[in-house]
Each structure stands twice: as C-alpha cells, then as structure tokens.
Chain A
Amino acid sequence: MMYTADVLKAFAAHRGDSIVISGRGGRHWVEISETPMDVPLGDPAMGGHSGFGLGLALAQPNKRVVLFDSEGDILMSLGQLATIAEQAPANFYHFILDNEVYATTGGQPVPNSKNVDYAAIARGAGYPRAFNFAEIDAFTGALPGILREPGPVFVALKVHPEVENTPIGQRVRWRKRSADKVVQDLRGALGV
C-alpha cells in the first residue's frame, strides 16, 4: 500500500504542463500545486470525474490531462470506461486511488474491495494500457514510462485509506477555490 501524498509527490516531478484533475487526491494536491491548470473540483457528483476528464481531454488534445479518480467512483460508473476507450483520447492518463473503502463517509468497505482487479476491468472495457501498483518504489520507477505511452492509460494504485469520520459540516475545507471558479480559471488559462 502507498500513501496518497507520496503518489502525488512522485507524479509532481513528472507533471510538466499537464492539466491535473486532482479528484480524490485533491486535499494533498492543493498543497503541491494550485495554478489555473490544476482542477480541484472536490466531488461535484460521485462517479463523474472520469467523464469530466474525458471531456477535457477531447477538448484539449494537445495537452496531457491527468486524473486522480477512485475505485468507488469507477464502480459507480463502469460504463464510462467503455466510452473513454471508444473515444480513445491519446492525451488522457487515468489514475485511480484505490483505498478499498468509502473514506469520506467513515470508511465503510467498498463491495468486494480486496478482490476487484481494476486494471483488468479497464483492459476489458478497451483501454489499450492498464497497470496495477501497490508499492511506491515500483510506481515511481514505472511512472516516466507510463507517461510516455499514448493514452488512454489506466493506472490503479493501492493506497492507505484516510478516513473522515466527523460530520461534514465540521470538516476543515481544503479547497481554496469554488468548483465553478476552478473551471472559470482553467478556461481563462486555456484562452477559451
């Protein structure tokens, strides 16, 4: 198992000019980078980050679009994988942070969490390249090569759960910008 913060630090070294949708890694990524090309949306509606990443990748084919999704989101929207594979954006890098639980609701287990092979599901949906990693050294070593591959690429990462168990209203807000402002800033930076 890896720590999400370590995964994101490893990625940051290779980020280049990628658009980063920090998804379920948002609370850590805002401490690493917070520019208009960073897209911390929080959780607009669960299961949708992969679709947002696809749309953005299709709209900006000359930019690498990197998404940090989760296994709970993927399971909620398995059909998105087929849509992504059909559209086949060569600039889309789809990472999932698999902590085996619903961390934001107190850590209840995701169904069959220890036995699902998400990379196999992605390959079955038509992703040409899909990987699993559970150790940070192996992930860090493979990352530059993965980012050189044409997308869509799927990378499942086993991470330790960071469970939140306080009432939502009492949690510390990590986002520095509202979600609609994030989109507005990105559009401004892209000149669209």
Chain B
Amino acid sequence: MNDAASAALSPETVMRQMKQNGVTDIVWLPDSETNWLFLLMKSDPDLRLVGVTREGHACSITAGLYAGGRKPMMLIQNTGMMESGDSIRGWLMGLNVPVVLMVGYRGYTRHGVNTDTAATYTERFLMAFDIPFYLIENDSDSDRITVAFKEAERRKKPVVVLVGDEYHGFNR
C-alpha cells in the first residue's frame, strides 16, 4: 500500500460506520469524488438514497424522515452546507433533529494555508452556528463518525463530520 492509499478514507469504512450506527436513509447531493461511495450505497437494499438538487432541501427532508421514525444521515459538501444556513437553523436545530452531516471539506489543506474560501469559512461557519464537528482524514479516524452519532443523540442537534481532503481515493 502506498502512502496515498494508506492515508485515504475508504468508502467501505464510511459504509461500515453508517450501518453500525443504524442509518436508514442518506439524503445527499453528490460531492467531489464520491461516486464509489454512491455505488456502494446504491447496492445496499437496506439503505434509501434521497437525492436533492440543493443542499438546503436535505435539511427539511431529513427532519421529515426523523419525525416519521427513520434515522437519516446527510452527505453534502461544505459549499452547500454554507448555502443551507437557514435550513440548518430552522429544520435541524429548530426541530431538535439528532442527525450527522458528513461534509466534504473542499479546499482543506491540513496546514491552514489555502486558496479556497470554501475552506476558509467552513469551521467559522460551524462555530457561529454552535454545531460540534469532527475532522476525519483516513480510516483510522473513522471512529469519530460514531462519536458524532452519539453526540447528536445526546444533544438532539446536528453534528458535523468534516471529511478532510474530500474523499480522495473514492474514485475507482
């Protein structure tokens, strides 16, 4: 295994975390390089995929699924998360929806110097909304997804998992 592969977060690991935490529905809009994860999710008969056309829509759909007894998870990119601010506030935080959002961290460089304002404002956005977040970059970090689920349940609020390096290695 080369360094790049060993550093990657594998889609199988993400799927395992979803199953381990009882996720029933994925409400999502394709992120950069998530196609392999999409194919894995699509082939799972116990997982429903709800595709949206704008990330804010995912918040109200997620709230409805939760209200009806399902355990949804959101899968979006940081750009869309920021666009969704009012929907996160009203539909997720306002209705006390305990949900994990996996958010692709576009522009993340590990060293803090970046040229992409999507990365510049991501953590500031989350702090302004008082949304807890965890960063994962490779398979050894993946337990933080379970930590996020537990925290969402305990707080009855959304919790974000930032996927550093935007799922590099997910295309096959």
Contact = CB atoms under 8 A, between A and B. Distances in A.
Contacts of A47: 56-57, 60, 87
Task: Count chain A CB atoms within 10 A of each CB in B27, B52, B57, B67 and give the residue with the most.
Answer: B67
B167 to A, nearest CB: 23
B26 interface: no
Contact of B69 (A45, A54, A184, A187): A187
A147 B95 CA distance: 29
A79 B84 CA distance: 14
Contacts of A77: 54, 56-57
Contact of B61 (A45, A51, A186): A51
A18 B54 CA distance: 29
Contacts of B86: 45-46
Nearest to A44: B90
Contacts of B68: 55-60, 190, 192
Interface residues of B, number: 32
A48 B70 contact: no
A153 B145 CA distance: 38
A44 B91 contact: yes
A145 B63 CA distance: 30
B65 A56 contact: yes
Interface residues of A, number: 36
Given A59-B69, A179-B95, A187-B69, A52 B52 contact: no
A183 interface: yes
Interface in B80-120: 86-87, 89-91, 94-96
A180 B95 contact: yes
Contacts of A43: 90
Task: Count chain A CB atoms within 10 A of each CB in B56, B63, B68, B69 and give the residue with the most.
Answer: B68
B127 interface: no
A82 interface: yes
Interface of B: 25, 27, 48, 50-54, 56-70, 72, 86-87, 89-91, 94-96
Give me the 8 closest cross-chain CB pairs, A-B, nearest first.
A55-B64, A59-B68, A192-B69, A79-B53, A45-B90, A48-B60, A51-B60, A44-B90
5 contacts: A39-B67, A44-B60, A55-B67, A59-B65, A187-B69
